Structure 1
């Protein structure tokens, strides 16, 4: 398995994961980083989420930057396997897909095996 590395992301700043939905039955979730203005007092950093998709959870922690917050967000799109089992990802996974069981605060998630471009590269070397 390959870890999903996120350039310039400080995993060590995360202290916990907040789940908005039980994701244990999901075949995968998408993982993305999200930034927001800390100057605006929000109880939930994903209040301003504007992508098409449903947010399932996010990480919380501390940031050295007083003005910009950054977290990982786990989400699904309407055509993901959990939402549409016969859709385009019935036998595969999108590039952002990570294994739900691998999600931990402070640690990179594991890339879903059905999206294995980095895993194939690792095996070849």
Structure 2
């Protein structure tokens, strides 16, 4: 599991991104359970995620409408399969409007760049 914390801050909302191997819906559930063992992530407002598997695409907005689709489209575009990416948001009290989608996309980009840097 790779976690990038304190990635983005905007109007009080804070974002992190994490990810790891994921082959099916059970692996996605196990990943989220493991992530939420960290109290900070368990208390987050949203843990939106997506994963491309052999069985098809999986995604969940976790209350952040449209965020899962943003992540999924980026995974499809980059050809990343069998890997889950979770964008976590702690709501800061002010609505971000469309900026929230930009932040989700920026978080995924940062994760993909870190993932590429971690490959030998």
Question: TM-score range with shorter-chain normalisation?
Answer: 0.3 to 0.5
Q: What is the TM-score with the length of structure 2 in the denominator? A: 0.32
Tell me: higher relative CO, structure 1 or 2? Use CA pairs within 8 A at least 6 residues apart.
Answer: 1
Q: What is the TM-score with the length of structure 1 in the denominator? A: 0.32
- Which structure is higher in strand share? 2
- Which structure is higher in helix share? 2
Q: Which of the two has higher C-alpha Rg?
A: 1
